A = this chain, B = another copy of it.
């Protein structure tokens, strides 16, 4: 059996996985707070519990980590896990467990999982784009997962799409995730409610400050016309970045993941329409198929486990 972890800014999630089938036989979750040595002890505790509780031998451990996770197992930089910077999490975990440990970016891991078991199945050229707090992405080209030289590939949420735009919390001007993340959808909803253009969201959330992307989604689900207008503008922003990636990668399929995918068909149809408009030479290209991710929050840990099973290559 393989143990897959997804280490995010809030939680470390663990899945016990049969690598032959991808079947999940147990799961666990703990806070990921604290500096590297604390997180290491947390993971060791989870591993120990998982082993004893299921009475199994582990063959390997796969770690999907938010941020720049070097192939060597060192976390070089993670805005969501600032206490982990330059911490050799992979090496420490391998030493303490005696197992093979593979460390990779969480979105890269999730992409591999969707390709093997989820919405990327059957395609050798697809990309996963997750719309959540930020935007994450991963790429499979010619059947192979794109890691990059260091393992840092897939940070397309930081791709600048509006070089004279507002300054994002990353310090960049106009990166894609400023406009097209779940956080951005909430921000658009609040700014529209603030100036009186989104009364339905205000009544759903109770106050301007309480409006999030999910409020916009809820208003949209109720058929609210203002929500439809706002959401169409948001889909355009999502498609601006998708069109860039389509022109760079020429994928067969785009898998959308992250919290916003609960919106479903309006998100798929809205981004597909704008993508067609914004992709240069769109009339000469076979349309790119947009589908929703299938593995939800399990994708990162699943993908890291599957990757560890094949020896990290």
Interface residues of A (CB under 8 A from B): 68, 76-77, 85-86, 123-125, 137, 141-142, 144, 146-156, 158-165, 170-172, 174-175, 240, 243-245, 247-252, 278, 280-281, 284-286
In the complex, the answer to whether B248 meets A170 with C-beta atoms within 8 Å is no
In the complex, the answer to whether A144 meets B147 with C-beta atoms within 8 Å is no
Q: How far is the CB of A47 from chain B (nearest CB, A)?
A: 28
B residues in contact with A174, CB < 8 Å: 162-163
Contacts known (A76-B281, A247-B155, A285-B68); A240 close to B163, Cβ less than 8 A: yes
Chain A at the B interface: SS class: loop
8 cross-chain CB contacts under 8 A? A125-B149, A141-B141, A141-B146, A147-B250, A155-B247, A155-B280, A160-B244, A161-B162
B residues in contact with A278, CB < 8 Å: 160, 172
Most buried by B among A156, A172, A245, A248: A248
Taking the full assembly, how many copies of this chain does it contain?
2
In the complex, the answer to whether A286 meets B244 with C-beta atoms within 8 Å is no
In the complex, the answer to whether A284 meets B77 with C-beta atoms within 8 Å is yes
User: CA A278 – CA B126 in complex, angstroms?
Assistant: 27
B residues in contact with A144, CB < 8 Å: 141-142, 144
Residue from B125, B148, B171 in contact with A141 in the complex, judged by beta carbons closer than 8 Å = B148
In the complex, the answer to whether B147 meets A142 with C-beta atoms within 8 Å is yes
In the complex, the answer to whether B249 meets A146 with C-beta atoms within 8 Å is yes
In the complex, the answer to whether A146 meets B142 with C-beta atoms within 8 Å is yes
In the complex, the answer to whether B76 meets A156 with C-beta atoms within 8 Å is no
Q: How far is the CB of A158 from chain B (nearest CB, A)?
A: 5
In the complex, the answer to whether A76 meets B162 with C-beta atoms within 8 Å is no
In the complex, the answer to whether B153 meets A249 with C-beta atoms within 8 Å is yes
Residue from B147, B248, B280, B281 in contact with A248 in the complex, judged by beta carbons closer than 8 Å = B248
Most buried by B among A142, A159, A247, A286: A247
